[in-house]
Amino acid sequence: MTSPAMARIAKDILRAEARLDFPRYRQIIDALIHAIEGGTLHPGDRLPPETTMAKLFSVSLGTVQKALAHLADIGFLQRTRRRGTFVTGRQAEDVFVFRFRNADTGKVMIPFTRVLSVSEVRSDRAWRGFLNAARCVRVERLVWVEGDSPAFSEFYIASEHGLHLLNEPLENLHGVSFHRILGRNFNLPTLRTNHRLQCRSLSAAACDRLLVPEGTFGTVWDVVGYSYQQATTFQSLQIPAGHRPIEFDMAAEFPQSIQTTGR
């Protein structure tokens, strides 16, 4: 961790002080996330001791500890006793967009996925604007948690990152995390996601794959995944009515943090 990098982060925090309604620990959170997404901090970088950061940022030790604890909770940092605090990015293998928590046991229910098709596509659909790519690889999947009916997923990544999937037998792709592939093979870990939901008729393809009548009403959940400052994935989940409820647990003071659970 270089001093110039920490000095730039301190300047970002100083500029944020103009927002009097913004808690100081939140200013530190935002400045560190901006540094990670912008490439000032990299996975594996070790942060200075908490006392040093408190002095540099002109805040109390408790404020620094609160900010670092939150960043560790959402996967941007790893705090290890005696070794210190390290940047993790948010590891791609930790990204589960479609997940639920059992209301009785509290256990996180990680979904099963079954790939239906993999193809290279070219069109002017929504994913093109996000991914800034004329051609993408589309993976059609069924996604479900035990005991529930499935949802239909269309997952898009730029062709340069996904052409190798075209040569894989479909059975080799069941349960595969494409976020993990991007992080491991292309150094593009998924650092954050943007969500958009709407209730409308499901697409003809979704109705066909889900074995429901055409025009069936449900929830369409679009998720864009970002690595550093670029969008790398676009996923559209189509969920028929009557599916297990989805709960967005959004921290009141940190609205960028989104956890999806079900009851």
147 vs 209, higher pLDDT: 209
Cα distance between residue 257 and residue 179, in whole Å = 18
Q: Assess whether pLDDT exceeds 80 at residue 245.
A: no
Residue 253's pLDDT is 37
216 vs 82, higher pLDDT: 216
Residue 204's pLDDT is 95
79 vs 243, higher pLDDT: 79
pLDDT tens profile 144-179: 876 678 899 999 999 999 999 999 998 888 888 888
Residue 252's pLDDT is 36
Q: Assess whether pLDDT exceeds 50 at residue 257.
A: no
Arithmetic mean of pLDDT, 234-241: 91
Residue 107's pLDDT is 64
Neighbours of 210 (CB within 10 A): 19
Q: How far is CA 152 from the centre of its chain?
A: 19
Class of domain 92-262: alpha beta
Q: How are beta strands 151-158 and 84-87 bridged, if at all?
A: unpaired
Cα distance between residue 189 and residue 66, in whole Å = 25
According to DSSP, residue 46 is labeled: B
Specify whether the CB–CB gap between 126 and 117 falls below 8 A. no
pLDDT tens profile 2-59: 468 888 888 877 776 655 556 788 888 888 887 876 778 887 788 999 999 999 998 9
Give the domain ranges of the chain: 3-87, 92-262
Q: What is the pTM (predicted TM-score) of this model?
A: 0.61
Q: Assess whether pLDDT exceeds 90 at residue 200.
A: yes
pLDDT tens profile 65-124: 998 988 876 667 888 777 788 887 544 344 456 666 666 776 666 677 889 999 999 876
Residue 254's pLDDT is 35
Cα distance between residue 90 and residue 74, in whole Å = 8
The answer to whether domain 3-87 has CATH 1.10.10.10 is yes
Residue 260's pLDDT is 39
- 100-to-59, 92, 262 alpha-carbon distances in Å: 37, 18, 4
- 76-to-6, 57, 94, 133, 174 alpha-carbon distances in Å: 16, 19, 11, 28, 28
